[in-house]
Chains A and B, each alone.
Chain A
Amino acid sequence: MHEIGIASSILDAVRHESDLRQGARVVKVGLRVGELAAVDPESLRFCFGALVTGTDLEPLTLDLEFHPRRNRCRRCGELFRVSEFPVTCPRCQSAETEFAGGDELEFAYMEIEET
């Protein structure tokens, strides 16, 4: 539901980046979206498209990288994807694991084209 606000924040950043570079435009923006980011990728794509269509930002595409929830084992150091609860290390079966990522909502890159 809040994806329109997020799409709007993405476009603010794209405009800012374009303003910094005279004679260049952003044609693609890459985002890292974690499983815990509370963002629905389909909804975000839809909102993004709706805000870009018919504006000077066209053509601009959105590339979403999905980042699953990960934990790290405190005993053996294994980094693994959390897919079920309770969480145990798939390598050593320890239950002592800690959060190691999956709440990303950040820019990965922007692709710039000289005009």
Chain B
Amino acid sequence: MNRIPMERKVLSENDRIAAELRDTYERNGTLCVNFISAPGSGKTALLERTLAGYDPGRRVAVLSGDIQTDNDARRLARYGFPVRQIATGGTCHLDARMVQSALEGWPLESLDILFVENVGNLVCPTSYDLGERARVVVLSVTEGEDKPLKYPATFYRADLMVLNKIDLLPYVPFDATLAHENARRVNPRIEIVNLSCTTGEGFHEWDRWLEAQRAPTVAVG
């Protein structure tokens, strides 16, 4: 019996494709953002309100992943920007290959922003790099404040937590400060934006965060 030591990631094939995608995005100056959340936290609503606020000439597109249906793509297509649906047919997450196939024939050089809406699931999408520059996790106030502690891997890998549905705070026993604390315990670097897709509160901060990702600057000092 011969034991060979190995130093290789299990998902190295996914990571290889993700690295190709990342190269392509960087070369074309496209900011790719990967949205992860539980089902119903408001990823699609966040994208709808974001697209609704853009000028028609804005160079933006959406890839939307779901297990079945093209409902989200149809919701998002109303805003006039290119939208493609990835129906995974049972798979609980998007992987880099699905994104690569879905992007075939799309002129990335004409896109400043590509939003990728992952399958609603707070566990499985975490392990799959899609080549994105930024990862956003959406949590809503109708869920538990302890979700960052229950799903640390997801919150640990996110750059931003969007705390959604804050217009409902008066009606639900949700402690937003505690939710922030929990997210920062798991990931001290995570940035947080509170917003409501119904009232539009917080969208200024959200837009500002997105703009900051488009032009990443080297930290001074």
Binding site for B on A (CB under 8 A): 1-2, 5-6, 9-10, 12-13, 17, 24, 27, 31, 35-39, 69, 85-87, 99, 103, 105-114
Which residues of B from 126 to 162 have beta carbons under 8 Å from A? 126-128, 149, 152-154, 156-157
Q: Is the CB of B10 within 8 A of A106?
A: yes
Q: Is the CB of A27 within 8 A of B11?
A: no
Q: Is the CB of B5 within 8 A of A36?
A: no
A2-B5 in contact given A10-B10, A103-B153 (Cβ < 8 Å) = no
**Considering the chains assembled together, what is the distance between the CA atoms of A112 and B2 in angstroms?**
5
Which residues of A lie under 8 Å from residue B121 when comparing CB positions? 1
Q: Is the CB of B4 within 8 A of A109?
A: yes
Q: Is the CB of A13 within 8 A of B185?
A: no
Q: Is the CB of A109 within 8 A of B10?
A: no
Q: Is the CB of B10 within 8 A of A112?
A: no
7 contacts between A and B (CB under 8 A): A1-B123, A5-B95, A6-B10, A37-B127, A85-B186, A111-B3, A113-B2
User: Measured between C-beta atoms, what is the minimum distance from A110 to chain B in Å?
Assistant: 5
Q: Is the CB of A105 within 8 A of B127?
A: yes
User: Measured between C-beta atoms, what is the minimum distance from A28 to chain B in Å?
Assistant: 8
User: Measured between C-beta atoms, what is the minimum distance from B63 to chain A in Å?
Assistant: 19
Residue of A with least CB distance to B123: A38
Which residues of A lie under 8 Å from residue B2 when comparing CB positions? 24, 111-114
B9 at the interface (CB under 8 A from A): yes
Binding site for A on B (CB under 8 A): 1-14, 91-93, 95, 121, 123-124, 126-128, 149, 152-154, 156-157, 182, 185-186
Residue of A with least CB distance to B2: A112
A2-B6 in contact given A37-B153, A85-B185, A113-B1 (Cβ < 8 Å) = no
**Considering the chains assembled together, what is the distance between the CA atoms of A67 and B8 in angstroms?**
16
Residue of A with least CB distance to B4: A110
User: Measured between C-beta atoms, what is the minimum distance from B186 to chain A in Å?
Assistant: 7
A-B interface, 6 closest residue pairs, ranked by CB to CB distance from nearest: A2-B124, A85-B185, A107-B6, A38-B153, A36-B153, A1-B92
**Considering the chains assembled together, what is the distance between the CA atoms of A13 and B16 in angstroms?**
14
Give the contacting residue for A1; candidates B7, B11, B124; CB below 8 A.
B124
**Considering the chains assembled together, what is the distance between the CA atoms of A36 and B186 in angstroms?**
11
User: Measured between C-beta atoms, what is the minimum distance from B88 to chain A in Å?
Assistant: 11
Q: Is the CB of A9 within 8 A of B123?
A: no
**Considering the chains assembled together, what is the distance between the CA atoms of A24 and B95 in angstroms?**
32
Residue of B with least CB distance to A111: B3
